[in-house]
C-alpha cells in the first residue's frame, strides 16, 4: 500500500515525520504490511515552518492508494483567505490526480479547506482546524462543517482538525485499511496519546448556524433530557423504532445513537467543567453517569485529559 503525502509551501515537520514514522513502525510490527510512502510538493525540497527540508517530487512516482494532505500557513491562526486560496490552488492538481486514481484522500488541519475548494466536500460532513471554522463556513456553505470533531470519515474522504489531530487521521486510515492490530502496537511503541474525538478545549463555541431539523430535535432533547437519556427513551421521544432511529443516525450523523449520547454527555461535561461551579463528581452525575471512575476514564479517552486536568487548562 502506497501513501503519497502532500507538503505545502510551509508545514509542521513534526507532523510529516510522525506520519511516516507511524507507517514505518507498522512495517516493523508486521513486515508483510509493506507500507510505502513518498512526499510530493511544488518543489524538490519542501521546507517546513522550522526550516527543516524534506526531499519531495513535483509528481508522484507511484500510484497513490492513500493521498494525505498536510497544510501550512505561515501566520497560523491569523492567516487570511488569500493565503488559503493560494495554497488551495497549488494543491488542486495533486488532489485531482489522487481522485482520478481512486485513492483514499485524507486532509488534516487547514487542508480540509483545500478539499472544499476542490468541491470534494459539497454535501458532505467535514471537520477543519478549530480556528478556521468561521472562514470555512462562510466560504463553503455547501459543506456540513462539524469543527468540534477531531476526525470525520465520509466514504473515502477523511478530514481532521488542527495540528496533531493528523495523528488520529492516519491512525483511522490504517485501522480502516485492516491494520488495527498493528496501529495499536505502534501506539504502544511510540507512546502516543489515547485517541480523541473532540478538538476541545481549544475549539471554543460550536459552529452550527444552520442545523438540520433532525439536529434541532436532538439539540432540544439533549437540553431537556440528557441526564436520564437512554436509547429507548430517545426512540420514544422521537416516536420511532430503535431500528429506524439507528438508520436515521447513520444517514444524518454517520454514528450510532449510543455514540451521540456519549458525545453529548462529554460535551456537556466539558461545558460544566469550564464554568467551574460544580465539582467533578457533580458534573459526572449531572450529565448522566453514575460511576465517577468510569466517567473519568471515558472523559480522558475522548479529550486526552482527565476532568481535573481539563478544568485546569480551560
Give 40-50 pLDDT, tens digit per residue: 998 888 888 88
- DSSP, res 31: G
- Residue 134 confidence (pLDDT): 78
- Residue 251 confidence (pLDDT): 81
Cα–Cα distance between 50 and 14 in angstroms, integer? 9
- Residue 139 confidence (pLDDT): 85
- Residue 79 confidence (pLDDT): 53
- Residue 207 confidence (pLDDT): 44
- DSSP, res 191: T
Give me the percent of the chain exceeding a pLDDT of 90: 47
Read off the pLDDT band of 250 (50, 70, 90).
confident
- Residue 25 confidence (pLDDT): 94
- Bridge partners (DSSP) of residue 47 are 53
| Secondary structure class of 275 (helix, strand, coil) | helix
Would you say the C-alpha torsion 94, 98, 100, 101 has a positive or negative sign? positive
Average pLDDT, stretch 126-132? Answer: 86
- Residue 118 confidence (pLDDT): 94
Burial grade of 251 (CB within 10 A; 0-12, 13-18, 19 or more): exposed
Give me the percent of the chain exceeding a pLDDT of 70: 90
* Residue 66 CA, distance from chain mean position: 17
Give 188-218 pLDDT, tens digit per residue: 888 887 767 667 666 654 444 455 788 889 9
Residue 72: closest CA among 166, 183, 172, 193? 166
Domain ranges of the chain: 2-190, 213-313
Read off the pLDDT band of 267 (50, 70, 90).
confident
pLDDT at 260 over 60: yes
- Residue 145 confidence (pLDDT): 87
Q: In this structure, are residues 298 and 262 in contact, taking their beta carbons and an 8 Å threshold?
A: yes
Average pLDDT, stretch 5-23? Answer: 90
Mean pLDDT of the chain: 86
Question: What is the third-level CATH fold of 213-313?
Answer: Arc Repressor Mutant, subunit A (1.10.10)
- Residue 210 confidence (pLDDT): 53
The CATH code belonging to domain 2-190 is 3.40.50.880
Locate 50 and state its grid cell.
522550522
pLDDT at 72 over 70: no
Give 132-141 pLDDT, tens digit per residue: 887 888 788 8
Cα–Cα distance between 102 and 97 in angstroms, integer? 9
- Residue 211 confidence (pLDDT): 59
Give the position of cell 476541545: 200
Average pLDDT, stretch 67-78? Answer: 68
pLDDT at 75 over 50: no
Q: In this structure, are residues 136 and 128 in contact, taking their beta carbons and an 8 Å threshold?
A: yes
Choose from 52-61, 163-172, 209-218 the range with maximum mean pLDDT. 52-61
Average pLDDT, stretch 157-166? Answer: 87
pLDDT at 253 over 90: no
Read off the pLDDT band of 76 (50, 70, 90).
very low
Cα–Cα distance between 26 and 39 in angstroms, integer? 18
Q: In this structure, are residues 254 and 289 in contact, taking their beta carbons and an 8 Å threshold?
A: no
Strands lying side by side in the sheet with 66-69: 36-40, 2-6, 66-69, 104-107, 157-160, 151-154
pLDDT at 310 over 60: yes
- Residue 5 confidence (pLDDT): 96
- Residue 34 confidence (pLDDT): 93
Residue 147: closest CA among 115, 109, 114, 117? 109
- Bridge partners (DSSP) of residue 106 are 68, 158
| Secondary structure class of 58 (helix, strand, coil) | coil
Burial letters for 83-117: b for 16+ Cβ neighbours within 10 Å, e otherwise?
bbeebbeebeebbebbbeeebbbbbbbbbbbbbbb
Amino acid at each position: 500500500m502506497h501513501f503519497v503525502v502532500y507538503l505545502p509551501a510551509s508545514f509542521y515537520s513534526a507532523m510529516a515525520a510522525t506520519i511516516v514514522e507511524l507507517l514505518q513502525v507498522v512495517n516493523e510490527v508486521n513486515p508483510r504490511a509493506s507500507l510505502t510512502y513518498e512526499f510530493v510538493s511544488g518543489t524538490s525540497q519542501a521546507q517546513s515552518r522550522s526550516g527543516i527540508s524534506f526531499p519531495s517530487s513535483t509528481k508522484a512516482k507511484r500510484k497513490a492508494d492513500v493521498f494525505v494532505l498536510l497544510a501550512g500557513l505561515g501566520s497560523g491562526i491569523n492567516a487570511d483567505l488569500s493565503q488559503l486560496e493560494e495554497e488551495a490552488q497549488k494543491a488542486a492538481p495533486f488532489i485531482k490526480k489522487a481522485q482520478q486514481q481512486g485513492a483514499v484522500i485524507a486532509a488534516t488541519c487547514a487542508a480540509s479547506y483545500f478539499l472544499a475548494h476542490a468541491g470534494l466536500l459539497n454535501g458532505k460532513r467535514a471537520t477543519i482546524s478549530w480556528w478556521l471554522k468561521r472562514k470555512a463556513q462562510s466560504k463553503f456553505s455547501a459543506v456540513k462543517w462539524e469543527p468540534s470533531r477531531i476526525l470525520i470519515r465520509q466514504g473515502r474522504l477523511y478530514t481532521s482538525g488542527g495540528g496533531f489531530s493528523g495523528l488520529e487521521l492516519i491512525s483511522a486510515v490504517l485501522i480502516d485499511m485492516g491494520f488495527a492490530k498493528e496501529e495499536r502496537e505502534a501506539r504502544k511503541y511510540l507512546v502516543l496519546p489515547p485517541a480523541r474525538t473532540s478538538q476541545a478545549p481549544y475549539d471554543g463555541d460550536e459552529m452550527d448556524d444552520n442545523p438540520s431539523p433532525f439536529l434541532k430535535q436532538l439539540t432540544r432533547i439533549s437540553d431537556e433530557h440528557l441526564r436520564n437519556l437512554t436509547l429507548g427513551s430517545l426512540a420514544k421521544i422521537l416516536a420511532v423504532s430503535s431500528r429506524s432511529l439507528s438508520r436515521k443516525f447513520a444517514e444524518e450523523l454517520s454514528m450510532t445513537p449510543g455514540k451521540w449520547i456519549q458525545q453529548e454527555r462529554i460535551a456537556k461535561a466539558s461545558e460544566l467543567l469550564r464554568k467551574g461551579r460544580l465539582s467533578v463528581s457533580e458534573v459526572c452525575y449531572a450529565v448522566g453517569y453514575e460511576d465517577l471512575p468510569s466517567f473519568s476514564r471515558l472523559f480522558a479517552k475522548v479529550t486526552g485529559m482527565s476532568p481535573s486536568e481539563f478544568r485546569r487548562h480551560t
